[in-house]
Structure 1
Amino acid sequence: FYTLSVELGQIEAFVEAQRRGSITRAAAALELTQPTLTARLRGLEQELGAQLLVRGRRGVSLTAAGRRFLPRAQAALEAVRRGVAETKAAREGRGGVLALGLATDLALYIAPMALARFARTHPDVEISVRSGRSHAVAEALRADEIEIALVSQLVVLPELASRPLFEESVPAVVGRAHAFAARGRVSIEDLARSGLVMRDASAYLHAITVAYFAAAGTAPRILMELNNTEACKRVVLAGLGAAFLPQMAIHDELRRGDLVALRVEGHPAPKRTIHVMTRAGAEVSPTANALLRVLPRPS
């Protein structure tokens, strides 16, 4: 069994020296003497068994080992800073820090209004948001860079736990000028032949669409594969093809009549579940729960 003896002050010294590009400036920023900061850096390098910084006349620069270690060191300092802030906030009955990860669709379609509303009602809370594909925000959660992650595709990792937040429909839609718009009801064979605008192959919406047709023993004719949901929606709004799009992305367009949801005979629209992910065993903070309560649920 190996006991790690790296100290927080050593990590802080390394991150600050890299950021400032100078031992002297880093020591001044941390209110340490230069020999003290140098000793911390040497102790860290000795513990890791690798040189992290190259000292030269123009200051310091990262070695290959330093570049590998830097993101983890920064994440460790951020986790401690967030933990201190949250603990003090809970004790003093005020805001604290909320670090949140959002899958791209959630960041685009439901989070903006909720975050603005939350900021107005919780002015003392510092909000930090990371967005990206579900796998990316899950990895940020595993690295302890965020407190919770909201994902549109469940990511199974042993260090993480999840629970459903809500379920939404993913109907087939067309623009109001499309030939199917007046019909409203189509066969799955006609829909497959008509041509679909789809998300790229790495997206969960792509998998949902392919599985939907495969269950009926057919496959769609693909007109386009695009790397974001909004692009797919805009192509369909322009009158080209049909697409399976999540309810959160098309609510306003359906209400205005710009898009028409199709009834596919004998095949109800697929659904997807939005999940909240946390680190296994961790309690969701009252601040995070307050935000979850104001997130809209697509109808």
Structure 2
Amino acid sequence: MDTNQLQAFDMITRQRSFSKAARALDISQPTISMRLQALEQAVGGALFVRGGSRLELTELGRSFLPYARQALAALADGIEIAQQTKQGARGIVSIATLPALTTDFVASAIARFYSDHPRVDLNIHTNHSDQILEMLYDGRVKLGLLNWPLFSRFGLTPILRFREPLIAVAHPSHPLAQERSITSQRMVSEGRPYWRLKWGPDANLWHARLITAGQTVTSIPVHSAHDLVLRGLGVVLLARPLVTADLAAGRLVELAVKDLPSFARESVLVCLSREESRLSTATRTFIAILREEGREFVHPTGSSRT
């Protein structure tokens, strides 16, 4: 049994004529008759009553017709979905990322992709670095968004690298916000408190040199620090994209720290090297959107292989 046989059966039923059905399918009448005969052999009996002025279905034909049409409809749907998947209009995009990296231009890319491709399943998972790598190696996700540099790069291909500058911010009512210029030491000692975030080895070493015995410095997650400074409590270094809207609206101000090193939050989008050439069209489209939304922060030496 094949699709041509089901199509022949369906068209003969609709046209009530072998000759009309053959013309509709652009095949010869002997061909459509052969296809029907083969189908009847497969189902085990005649599908039409032979003879008479009208072509009628047998009881077997009437019982089989709904299933034949369901099969044809399912096949048509499958072909349509396959074509849309090839074009990137359907499919699955699966990403695992660190929670702190889901904001800013990444969130904008997700929103834009969802708006442009509402029929694509977009699965965003958040986890720790080790678990993200495990999900990549196990094939549970196709993309991973991690901190850079990667300490484990076995079998991974960097697709996009981002570098987001860190700036010191506080609420407009904070005493340090009134200063025209301050030192890093004052920012830490007079932050009340200074929220210490883990921004990588260089920033960690810098913090260690600044913090003196007896100073109160609290380490908390990025989102918590952001929320606390918005409430008027403390000073923190945050990635500029995270606070762009807050600065524009006057909810936060950038502190003029004259000796602040040029630290940055660095991240990288990766895939398995063996999967790079097999990424789906939808996945490649998401990568292109992410690149465009984060174009201001794409690392000059970052690679793009989409």
What range is the shorter-chain TM-score in?
0.5 to 0.7
Aligned partner of residue 177 in structure 2, secondary structure: coil
User: What's the counterpart of residue 245 of structure 2?
Assistant: 252
Aligned partner of residue 186 in structure 1, secondary structure: coil
Equivalent runs, 1:196-207 vs 2, <5 Å: 196-199=194-197, 204-205=198-199, 207=201
- In 1, the alpha carbon distance for the partners of 2:201 and 2:252 equals 22
Residue 158 of structure 1 deviates from its aligned partner by 1.2
User: What's the counterpart of residue 165 of structure 2?
Assistant: 169
User: What's the counterpart of residue 256 of structure 2?
Assistant: 263
Residue 183 of structure 1 aligns with an amino acid whose one-letter code is: E
Q: Is residue 145 of structure 1 aligned with residue 140 of structure 2?
A: yes
Structure 2 stretches lacking a partner, 5+ long: 1-78, 298-306
Moved more, 90-99 or 188-197: 90-99
Residue 275 of structure 2 aligns with an amino acid whose one-letter code is: A
The structure 1 residue matched to 2:227, chosen from 234, 238, 251, is 234
User: What's the counterpart of residue 281 of structure 1?
Assistant: 274
Residue 115 of structure 1 deviates from its aligned partner by 1.9
The number of residues matched between the two structures is: 207
User: What's the counterpart of residue 58 of structure 2?
Assistant: none
- In 2, the alpha carbon distance for the partners of 1:206 and 1:273 equals 9
TM-align CA RMSD: 2.8
Q: Is residue 113 of structure 1 aligned with residue 105 of structure 2?
A: no
- 1:162-207, Cα deviation, whole Å (9 max, x unpaired): 24432111111111111111214211221221241124xxxx4375
Contact 2:99 2:127 in 1 (8 A): yes
Contact 2:87 2:281 in 1 (8 A): no
TM-score in terms of structure 1 length: 0.60
User: What's the counterpart of residue 188 of structure 2?
Assistant: 192
The structure 1 residue matched to 2:210, chosen from 218, 222, 245, is 218
Contact 1:198 1:206 in 2 (8 A): no
- 1:6-60, Cα deviation, whole Å (9 max, x unpaired): xxxxxxxxxxxxxxxxxxxxxxxxxxxxxxxxxxxxxxxxxxxxxxxxxxxxxxx
Residue 265 of structure 1 aligns with an amino acid whose one-letter code is: K
Contact 2:85 2:91 in 1 (8 A): no
- In 2, the alpha carbon distance for the partners of 1:171 and 1:133 equals 25
- 1:198-252, Cα deviation, whole Å (9 max, x unpaired): 24xxxx43755423334xx4226444322x3121112122222211111232111
- In 2, the alpha carbon distance for the partners of 1:184 and 1:289 equals 46
Q: Is residue 159 of structure 1 aligned with residue 144 of structure 2?
A: no
User: What's the counterpart of residue 51 of structure 1?
Assistant: none
Residue 177 of structure 1 aligns with an amino acid whose one-letter code is: S
Residue 89 of structure 1 deviates from its aligned partner by 5.6
Residue 134 of structure 1 deviates from its aligned partner by 3.5
- In 2, the alpha carbon distance for the partners of 1:89 and 1:211 equals 53
Q: 1:135 to 1:149 in 2, by over 3 A?
A: same
Residue 171 of structure 1 aligns with an amino acid whose one-letter code is: I
Q: 1:225 to 1:92 in 2, by over 3 A?
A: closer
Q: 1:252 to 1:280 in 2, by over 3 A?
A: same
User: What's the counterpart of residue 58 of structure 1?
Assistant: none
Aligned partner of residue 110 in structure 1, secondary structure: helix
Aligned partner of residue 264 in structure 1, secondary structure: coil
- In 2, the alpha carbon distance for the partners of 1:89 and 1:101 equals 27
Structure 1 stretches lacking a partner, 5+ long: 1-84
Larger Rg: 2
Residue 161 of structure 1 deviates from its aligned partner by 2.4
Residue 276 of structure 1 aligns with an amino acid whose one-letter code is: L
- In 2, the alpha carbon distance for the partners of 1:256 and 1:209 equals 28
Q: Which has the higher contact order (CA 8 A, sep 6+)?
A: 2
